[in-house]
Amino acid sequence: MKVYTKTGDGGTSSLIGGRRVRKNDVHLEIYGTLDELSSFIGLLKNQQELEKYKNELTHIQQTLVNINCIFATDDPEIAKNNSFDIKNIQFLENKIDEYEQMLPPVTDFLIPGENKSNAITNICRTICRRAERRINDLQLAEFQTAAAIYINRLSDYFFVLGRKITY
Question: Model-level pTM?
Answer: 0.92
54-101 pLDDT per residue, tens: 999 999 999 999 999 889 988 877 777 777 889 999 999 999 999 999
> For residue 123, what pLDDT is reported?
98
Domains of the chain: 25-164 (1.20.1200.10)
**β partners of residue 14:** 20
**Count of alpha carbons within 13 Å of 159, Cβ hemisphere only?**
17
Q: Output the furthest CA–CA distance in the chain (Å, rounded).
A: 55
Q: How far apart are CA 48 and CA 26, in angstroms?
A: 36
Q: How far apart are CA 162 and CA 160, in angstroms?
A: 5
